[in-house]
Amino acid sequence: MITGVAAIATGFSLPLAMGMTVIIFAGASQLATMQLLTAGAAVAVIVLTASMINLRFLLYSASLAPHFQHLPLHWKLLLAYFTTDPAYGITIGALNEHIPTPMKHWYYAGAAGLLWVGWIIGTLTGALLGTQIPTEWSLDFAISLNFIAVLIPSIRDRATLLSALVGGGVAIVARGLPFNLGLIVGALCGIGAGLLLEQGQRREQQP
């Protein structure tokens, strides 16, 4: 809804707002793109900013690749399009633990597809409402709540807890970096911290 409201407020027509939603399907970069368009930024700056924000999908893809490497190209392209923060967050635990390989792509496509439908309906609703939603409702905070809701269930052991704490802490400290690089730096530091702890635990368990 927030993305739809922002699109109309930026001056997008309804077809353009929905077309952007369907093609890009990435909330954070869509909002950043609309803010930069409103500010009159150059096209190169807009493309570079959106690309930097979406670099985190490289990390998601690297994590998902072992589960889907046996699939034909058309399946990989479809699942790549559906990859979002919540789709990854709510499925990766099950993919790693108990979903059998022949069903993994169906499981992921089912979860991600439902999220896609919800995203399209929510964006359309926001676009139709336009700017009628009061600003005092502070709905933009819902974006942060979305990431928190994805994060909490994924913390299952000390390694993932350390990853979350380090990644979040570094991202906060590095939030002033240009092109939203603080997010990427935080993610990489969080991953590194979790891997180091896991390796240390394995060494302790070895006879």
Average pLDDT over residues 23-34: 83
Q: What pLDDT is recorded for position 37?
A: 80
Q: What pLDDT is recorded for position 180?
A: 64
Residue partners of 88: CB distance under 8 A and separation at least 6: 60, 63, 64, 150
Going by pLDDT thresholds of 50, 70 and 90, the confidence category of residue 75 is very high
What pTM did the predictor assign? 0.68
Q: What pLDDT is recorded for position 141?
A: 65
pLDDT over threshold 90, residue 27: no
Comparison of pLDDT for 138 and 90, the residue scoring more: 90
Q: What pLDDT is recorded for position 145?
A: 67
| Burial 82-106, CB ≥16 within 10 A → b, else e | bbbbbbbbbbbeebeeebeeeebbe
Q: What pLDDT is recorded for position 105?
A: 95
List pLDDT tens digits, range 135-182: 666 666 666 666 676 677 778 788 888 988 998 899 899 888 876 677
pLDDT over threshold 90, residue 67: yes
| Residue 73 CA from chain centroid, whole number | 22
Comparison of pLDDT for 207 and 27, the residue scoring more: 27
